[in-house]
Structure 1
Amino acid sequence: MTLLPVALAFTLVAACGSGSGGSEAAAGGDFDEMIKIGINESVTGPAASNGAPFRDSARFAIDQVNADGGITVDGKRYGFEAVERDNETDPQKAIGIAQEFSRDGVRFVLGPGISSVFSPAYESMQGTDALVFSAAGVATSLVGKPEAQNLFSPINPQAGPEGLIKNAADAAAEKFRPTRAAILLPNDPLGELHGNGFKTAFEAAGVQVVYNERFGADTVDFAPYVTQLKALNPDVVVVGPLDRWVEPILTEATAAGFTTPAFIGSPGVSQAPFGKFPAVTKAMVTMVTRAVDNPADTSLDAFRTAYKAHFEKDPGPSSFWSLIYFDSVNMLARSMQVAGTVDDLDAISRTLVSSPEVTRYPARALDLTYDEKHQAHYPIQHQFIVDGQRSYVG
């Protein structure tokens, strides 16, 4: 899945920067040994708008751990080393990368963060000795199960994917006061999950769902769907959950003069597409982390400083993607330090869940904790864009 989005140029990958992957930062000095952190993400392919930022957030976090001095266990200093692989949003390539990591003894893995790629890759890893963090939405349905003993989900789903969707639908209903809603999502497991979740939540809020359709993943012409939507005249339209579908939908909507509804980005969508269509004056994005570029949020001052030092620029509106793995990787390092081991995965997992010491490190960005099922919890944010002005709730 994937689950969850920017200078208002709204260029997502550029907002996340290029960064340097896995090098020993100068502030960390020399290390006695490097711990390999595998990154299996969709840097190219259909889901690159999510996968590339996931990769960049992993690079950022790994360099931050090294810059902060790494990990000391039994008098030995360890740093993190990124082992990056691009699965090209191809499940078979993701499986091959997962198996490569297993063969090469890479015991700590980030990704895949896209649900359709994560599921087969993780299934191929089951029974292997690895601790995995995945931003994929479907990971939230696996954490806590015996077959996923050392799987962690860093995306806060507010008690599961259904909870996150309900939270988003309730926020949209509160902000825009709709009476009629439409839902247009892909015909895949994530589209079904989000579509059914939005329908249930909207109806519970007293909003009539007048349209709830799915399109093929390879659809490029959305004009027929927009024609149907315009005829029904809904107050809100849910689209997503990837940017690559939202932009052509908004292109057709603008061309058809269908711009009066509030367009709701299903979690996973960024603000990027909405900035390209000023005629669309009302929109909402459920941010899977927090708005890094919101200067009113002073709790992120230290993170913004670290971000600028790493990416050599200030964070933009889509930079919240850079938080996806940042706290988790830093907490992993602290867990190793506190547990006194870099290879006992069970001990590291237990410490990551139970010790308050794992939350104490520089530039902590989210109030993130993991529960006993290895599910992340932290406050999420909704961003509203109304007449070009952004505001935040959550």
Structure 2
Amino acid sequence: MKRPRFTRTLLAAALAPVIATAACASVEDPVDDYIVIGMDEDSTGPGASYATIAGTTVRATIDRLNAEGGINGTPVRLVVENDESSPTNTPSIIRKLKDQGAAAVILSTGSGAALQAKQVSETAEIVTIAPVALTDSVAGPPGNEYAYMVPNPLAQYAEVYCGAFKAGGNGRLAILADASPAISGILATLDPKLQECIEVVDTRKAAVDAADLTAGVSRLLDSKPDAVLVASVGGNFELTAQNTLHRLAPGLQRFSLASIGNQPEAWNLANPGSLDGLVFMGSLSTQNQRTTELEQWLRTIKGPDYSLTAYDAQAYDAVMLIKHAIELAGTHTDPQKLNEAMQQVQDVPASFGQEQLTLSFNPDKHIAPDSVCGLVLVEFGPDNTPVGPWSDYQPECTPEEGEA
């Protein structure tokens, strides 16, 4: 039986020129003749593996808008700058994009850069929206008047993990993490919230390039956990961790961040069966027809075998949320009116998450998902490929507190 596809692929470097560049703006054109959208794309730094996936989909989506007549009958142009994964570069990038006429900026970059953009967006009065950042503070107060984000935030990751632990009868959690700054930042948010619902009996960290985790995993297992969460940026560390855990504790329930789901090229490198039963935090469901339709469309651009990623879906939705705001505002040249309109965008069907998920903003809510069900727990099967949603638990599509 053919398995449903829940894969998220890393974009090959060769794909970069695939998307037509017709949407890129010439800053010499009259600004009233087109709508400029800026993009801060980390295309050469450490975050390029996911930022370029989102970036190519932004380009494709703007091309599609133009083929359909633009926004309010006005063509859309894209101007792009690269922050090279360096948050210190971000403020000047945002100002440069605004100087080029950008009405709004898509932050196809990491959370650190998005946080720096947030500081500039308010003083420069320019809407910024982050399709790939997960840190709640990217779009949370203070100073978030012009800052928005598309994905479910890390606080909701913790909520879903806690629901999974309860459903699985888990009471003792051990965490195995790489020592990268990115994962340290994620755990700083996740760990306190996880401790509210489960006893965290041990946390072990090792270098990202660690070749052998046997000793660390053995000490971790000495704490007698009934579940383990692997927190890593993926790659060799994730494979080594999963191979070692499967070898030393084959029956132990394992959870992971989204990284393993984003890297299908790594699945074949795992030991046979070592990913079986692993549950990772995803954002895509084949039961969402919009997700399926988006994948089918992107395959006409990125290739017939392309597997949709959450980065694609959330980048597409970022463009569409800006489109809705410009339509509501009736203008793209008045930054205050555009920002007010952004906060009036309501109930936009999402291209990621479960079928019922909608996206909205208001003056007090700058994180788009209206429910935690933008997250989907996905399970691996014995052939080291994802087989679909984890049957033990999925978050419900109920409005967040304060929503209608």
1:275 counterpart (249, 267, 273): 267
Rounded Cα–Cα distance in structure 2 between residues aligned with 1:60 and 1:125: 25
Alignment match, 1:248: 237
Could you tell me which of 190, 198, 202 is aligned with 1:211?
Answer: 202
- Taking the aligned partners of 1:363 and 1:126, their CA distance within structure 2 comes to 28
SS of equivalent residue, structure 1 residue 123: helix
- Asked if 1:165 is matched to 2:158, the reply is yes
Q: CA deviation at 1:114?
A: 1.0
- Residue 384 in 1 paired to residue 379 in 2? yes
**Pair 1:92 & 2:83 matched:** no
**8 A contact 2:279–2:379 mirrored in 1:** yes
Per the TM alignment, residue 376 of structure 1 is displaced from its structure 2 partner at its CA by 0.7
Partner of 1:290: 284
1:28 aligned partner: none
**Shift in CA distance, 13/348, structure 1 to aligned 2, threshold 3 Å:** same
Percent of aligned pairs sharing the same letter? 18
Q: Distance in 2 between matches of 1:39 and 1:164?
A: 27
Compute the displacement of 1:259 (Å). Answer: 5.8
In the alignment, the residues of structure 1 paired with residue 217 and residue 256 of structure 2 have an alpha-carbon distance, to the nearest angstrom, of 16
Q: Say if 1:94 and 1:363 are closer, same or farther in 2 by CA, change over 3 A.
A: closer
- 1:12 aligns with 10
Conserved? CA contact 2:209–2:237, under 8 Å: no
| Aligned-partner residue type, residue 51 of structure 2 | G
- TM-score with structure 2 setting the length: 0.75
Partner-residue secondary structure (3-state), 2:139: coil
The TM-score normalised by the length of structure 1 is 0.77
Partner AA of 2:284 in structure 1: R
**Structure 2 match to 1:225:** 216
Cα drift, residue 11 of structure 1:
3.8
* 8 Å Cα contact 1:102-1:125 kept in structure 2: no
Using the TM superposition, give the Cα deviation of residue 222 of structure 1 relative to its aligned residue in structure 2, in angstroms. Answer: 5.8
Contact 1:35 1:81 in 2 (8 A): yes
Mapped partners of 2:14, 2:165: distance in 1: 27
Query: What letter corresponds to residue 390 of structure 1 in structure 2?
Result: V
Residue 79 of structure 1 is matched in structure 2 by 75
Q: Is the 8 A contact 1:87 1:93 kept in 2?
A: yes
Aligned to 1:370: 361
Give the root-mean-square deviation of aligned CA atoms: 3.8
SS of residue matched to 2:323: helix
| 2:134 equivalent in structure 1 | 137
Cα offset, 1:285, TM superposition: 1.9
Give the drift of 1:45: 3.0
- Asked whether the 8 Å contact 1:15–1:319 carries over to 2, the reply is no
Deviation at 1:142, TM superposition (A): 4.8
The alpha-carbon deviation at position 68 of structure 1 amounts to 2.4
Matched, 1:151 2:147: yes
SS at match of 2:151: coil
Tell me the CA shift for residue 129 of structure 1: 3.0
Could you say which residue in structure 2 is the equivalent of 1:311? 302
- Are residues 312 and 254 of structure 1, via their aligned partners in 2, closer, same or farther at CA, if it must alter by over 3 Å? closer
Give, in angstroms, the shift of residue 233 of structure 1: 5.3
Going from structure 1 to structure 2, the CA distance change for 1:89 and 1:173 (only over 3 Å counts) comes to: farther
Alpha-carbon offset, residue 40 of structure 1:
1.4
Asked if the contact 1:21/1:62 (under 8 Å) is kept, the reply is no
Asked whether the 8 Å contact 1:284–1:382 carries over to 2, the reply is yes
Instruction: Determine whether 1:265 maps to 2:256.
Output: yes
The equivalent of 1:23 in structure 2 is: 22
Q: Which runs of 5+ in 1 are unaligned?
A: 1-5, 26-30
Match of 2:176 in 1: 184
Structure 2 CA distance for partners of 1:56 and 1:345, relative to 1, 3 Å: same
- Cα distance in 2 for partners of 1:363, 1:391 equals 15
Is 1:330 matched with 2:324? no
Q: Does residue 1:340 correspond to 2:330, yes or no?
A: yes
C-alpha separation in 1, matches of 2:220 and 2:93: 41
Query: What do the CA deviations read for 1:204-241 (whole angstroms, capped 9, x no partner)?
Result: 44x4322124456x654563533433444534322235
Q: In the alignment, is the contact (CA less than 8 A) between 2:256 and 2:278 conserved in 1?
A: yes
Is 1:116 matched with 2:112? yes
Q: Aligned equivalents of 1:266 and 1:348: distance in 2?
A: 35
Instruction: Find out whether 1:321 has 2:311 as its counterpart.
Output: yes
Distance (Å, rounded) in 2 between the aligned partners of 1:153 and 1:119: 11
SS in 2 for 1:147: coil
Superposed CA offset, 1:42-101 (max 9, x none): 2333223322222233223322322322112xxxx3222222333332233434423422
Q: Distance in 1 between matches of 2:34 and 2:157?
A: 37
Distance 1:363 1:189, change over 3 A: closer
Once the 2 structures are TM-superposed, how far is the Cα of residue 16 of structure 1 from its aligned partner? 12
Query: Unpaired segments of 5 or more residues in structure 2?
Result: 25-30, 396-404
Q: How many residues are aligned here?
A: 365
Which residue pairs with 2:401 in the alignment?
none
Write out per-residue CA displacement over residues 334-353 of structure 1, whole angstroms, 9 at most, x where no aligned residue: 32123210122222232233
Separation (CA, whole Å) in 2 of partners of 1:41 and 1:113: 6
Sort the Cα spacing of 1:265 and 1:44 in 2 relative to 1 into closer, same or farther, 3 A: farther
- Counterpart for residue 239 of structure 1: 230
Partner of 1:195: 187
Change (3 A) 1:17 1:353: farther
For residues 349 and 126 of structure 1, do their structure 2 counterparts lie closer, same or farther at Cα, with a shift above 3 Å needed? closer
| Corresponding letter in the other structure for 2:274 | A
Q: Distance in 1 between matches of 2:349 and 2:240?
A: 45
